[in-house]
A and B are shown apart, each in its own frame.
Chain A
Amino acid sequence: MAANNHSEHQSAGHGHHIIPAEIYKKVALALFVLTLLTVGFHYLFHSVMHGSVLAAPVAFLIAAVKASLVLMFFMGLKYDSVDNRIIFALGFFFLFVLIFFSALDIWTRVAVTSTL
């Protein structure tokens, strides 16, 4: 029965996909390097340039790349079903809705009253 299930997974093209250890190692290494890059940029913007408008965008861009690596490989979303990918994307969609309307609220308030 177990062997039977196993063959079903194979034919269905999903299920217990074994992600190679080599990929996990590379992802972990990439995450370490990106973390070093984050503090490297922090040092550049903070201690060398004494503040830059790029500091926040660069830090969060690197964080987004790191988060994508964790999602795709450690959480296995790259190899997961379309259902699960849609479910998780919906979470970010609703978070975007929250951010969008909050930003709109603040922006229009400033336009009307010149302050928050």
Chain B
Amino acid sequence: MSTSSSHTHDSHVAHHFRDANHQFESAKQGIWLFMVTEILMFGGLFVGYAIFHALYPKMFAEGASHLNWKLGFVNTLVLIFSSYTMAMSIHHLQKNEKSQAVTKLWLTVGCGVIFMCIKAFEYTGKFQHGFLPGRLLDVVHTGAESANLGMYYGFYYCMTGLHGLHVLIGMGLIVWLALRAQKGEFGEDYFTPVEGVGIFWHIVDLIWIFLFPLLYLVG
């Protein structure tokens, strides 16, 4: 409808854009606006955490002490590596090294799988021991010193759950990118979807960079 039917590079350019670059920059600006909403959404949770942490510092320290920081540490490294492979996939596309770009995209997906497996392992362990959010927390079974320990786990599941949802959505998008890249749809002239999803994937990494010390280390 809005795209040109010619089979040149311009077939991607919608009629309301001057040229491919104008379209690329507009799409990217839209992604950056979306990233602002992401910062504000997670930011609200961080501020909520800070307020209740100020109210119940001992309870939050107790909550964090039950988490295995080594698992959070490994997941941090996994996400950093995935950000690197994501960035490299764009680098390869810009140089028209298409097969290397596909490999980097699948590696990124693989890192997402590892991250989610570790998260699932952590969640099931916590569920089994009664560390559930809010009033569902088993005070007797967990041997909780603070009666309101469920609040810490409310924040924990909310923040890591929302973050995990982002990882899952990001993985789905990167699978879509990898399949399209395999068909040779991206190259130096057109890689807008890879750039956009890449920025989204990096913000997921960026949020985890703050979640790791907050939930696992400082508490």
Q: A residues within 8 Å of B by Cβ? A: 1-2, 5, 8-9, 12, 15-16, 18-19, 21, 24-25, 27-28, 31-32, 35, 38-39, 42, 46, 55-56, 59-60, 62-63, 66-67, 70-71, 73-75, 80-81, 83-84, 87-88, 90-92, 94-95, 98-99, 102, 106, 116
Is the beta-carbon distance between B33 and A87 smaller than 8 angstroms?
yes
Contacts of B206 in A (CB 8 A): 67, 70-71, 75
Contacts of A55 in B (CB 8 A): 217-218
Q: Known contacts A32-B77, A83-B29: does B87 contact A91 (CB below 8 Å)?
A: no
Is the beta-carbon distance between B91 and A87 smaller than 8 angstroms?
no
Chain A, Cβ-Cβ closest to B216:
A42
Chain A, Cβ-Cβ closest to B211:
A63
Distance in angstroms from B213 CB to nearest chain A CB is 4
A-B pairs under 8 A by CB, number: 139
Contacts of A92 in B (CB 8 A): 39
Chain A, Cβ-Cβ closest to B88:
A24
Would you list 24 pairs from A and B whose C-beta atoms are within 8 A, ordered by A residue? A5-B189, A15-B21, A35-B76, A39-B73, A42-B213, A55-B218, A59-B218, A60-B213, A63-B209, A63-B210, A74-B83, A74-B86, A74-B198, A75-B203, A75-B206, A80-B28, A91-B35, A91-B36, A95-B40, A95-B43, A98-B47, A102-B50, A106-B51, A106-B54
Contacts of A39 in B (CB 8 A): 69, 73, 217
Distance in angstroms from B105 CB to nearest chain A CB is 15
Can you list the 8 inter-chain pairs with the closest CB atoms, starting with the nearest? A91-B36, A59-B213, A28-B84, A95-B43, A91-B39, A2-B9, A31-B80, A56-B218
| Tally of B interface residues using CB under 8 Å | 53
Is the beta-carbon distance between A42 and B69 smaller than 8 angstroms?
yes
Q: Known contacts A84-B32, A94-B40, A95-B40: does B83 contact A8 (CB below 8 Å)?
A: no
Is the beta-carbon distance between A18 and B95 smaller than 8 angstroms?
yes
Q: Does B19 contact A (CB under 8 A)?
A: yes
Proximity bits, B65-97, A CB within 8 Å = 1, else 0:
000010001001100110110111001001100
Is the beta-carbon distance between B69 and A5 smaller than 8 angstroms?
no
Contacts of B55 in A (CB 8 A): 116
Contacts of B218 in A (CB 8 A): 55-56, 59-60
Contacts of A63 in B (CB 8 A): 209-210, 212-213
Q: Does B185 contact A (CB under 8 A)?
A: no
Chain A, Cβ-Cβ closest to B39:
A91
Which among B28, B33, B209 is the interface contact of A70 at CB below 8 angstroms? B209
Contacts beyond the supplied A9-B21, A19-B87: 13 A-B pairs with Cβ under 8 Å: A2-B8, A15-B24, A24-B87, A42-B69, A42-B213, A70-B205, A70-B209, A71-B206, A84-B29, A91-B40, A106-B54, A116-B54, A116-B55
Q: Does B44 contact A (CB under 8 A)?
A: yes
Q: Known contacts A59-B218, A74-B202: does B209 contact A99 (CB below 8 Å)?
A: no
